[in-house]
Structures are given as C-alpha cells and as structure tokens.
Amino acid sequence: MMRHRTAPTHLAGLLLLCLALPLQAQQYEQVGNHQIHYSAVSTSFLSPEVAANHGIQRSPAMALLNVSVLEELEDGTTRPVNAPVTGEVGEVGSTSPASLSFRSLRDGDAQSQIATFRIIEDEPMRFDLQVRYDRNREPARVSFIQRFYIERE
C-alpha cells in the first residue's frame, strides 16, 4: 500500500544538493519499508556554487526533479538506497509528455537521482515516475501534479 506524506524537514543522509532546495517542497511515498522522496523546484533556487558543482543550468524557466530512496531498518534508522528512476513530465491531460533524463548524484553514502526539465508556466504539470527501489520487485509508480511560476527579475 502506498501512502503519500509530507517529509520531515530534517532528512538525514540526503545529498547536500537537497539541503539547498526548499525543504517544504520535499514529499514522499511509503512503499513497504522504503521511503521514496521527491521534490521539484526551479533551478533558480539553487546557489550558483551548487549548480556549477553539479552541472545544473540555473534558469527561472528550468526546474530540477530530485528523487531519493531511504530504506527503513529494523532498528528504526534509515539508509540510502541506489534506486534508478525513469519517468515523464507534461501538462495535465497531455498525450505527449516529455521523457525525463535522470542521472545519479552521490555524496558519501547519500544517493539521489536528478533530472531537469522546462517549466510550463502557470500550468499544472504531471509527473509519472517509475522508481526501482528493490531490484527483486516491480518498480514503484509515483505520480504527482505540481504548478510552477517563472520568477521575473
């Protein structure tokens, strides 16, 4: 059973990149003993240093999708899981969504999958993701809708 929750603001073990994003944007789905965390924000929210270090274009018209997976252990702690992600993004009701091209980021034990995409201003955008959190199971399907606004200078 999948349950949708808002993540706590202190997600230990996630990439420093995640710390640069507004944490209130973090959400997750619980799949068994795995938490699939995701957030999508304008790349203009990234500091120039973080963007340059990770090869991310900063632009008010571009956004970053960050997906990471934590496994809940029996002792109550969590550990990051390398979880490949595929997916698409497009306008709600679109018959031709754009494929997202994910790449892995690592910082110590923390692991994350990121993809950038062009914002469709003031239109709800639908994300459909497949997250392979366990190689012995079918990928988890995570879908959400989010609206973006382009900040004018």
* Total number of domains in the chain: 1
Q: Within a domain: residue 152? A: no
Please work out, in degrees rounded to the nearest 5, the angle formed at the alpha carbon of residue 36 by the alpha carbons of 31 and 42.
Answer: 150
Domain that holds residue 137: 2-147
Q: Within a domain: residue 25? A: yes
Phi, psi of 132 (to 5 degrees): -90, 80
Strands 103-107 and 98-100: unpaired
Q: Which CATH number fits the domain that encloses residue 77?
A: 2.60.40.3340
The whole-angstrom separation of Cα 136 and Cα 67 is 20
* pLDDT (0 to 100) of residue 153: 60
The whole-angstrom separation of Cα 72 and Cα 74 is 7
Q: Within a domain: residue 6? A: yes
Number of Cα atoms under 13 Å in the Cβ half of residue 19: 10
Share of the chain residues as helix, strand and coil, in percent rounded to the nearest 5: 10, 50, 40
Q: Within a domain: residue 131? A: yes
Q: Within a domain: residue 80? A: yes
Six-digit token string for 37: 């965390």
The whole-angstrom separation of Cα 90 and Cα 105 is 24
* pLDDT (0 to 100) of residue 1: 43
Q: Tens place of pLDDT for every residue, the chain, 153 residues? A: 444 443 332 222 234 444 434 444 569 999 999 999 999 999 998 999 989 988 999 999 999 999 999 999 999 999 999 999 999 999 998 889 999 999 999 878 888 999 999 998 889 999 999 999 999 999 999 999 999 988 776
Q: Within a domain: residue 153? A: no
* pLDDT (0 to 100) of residue 16: 42
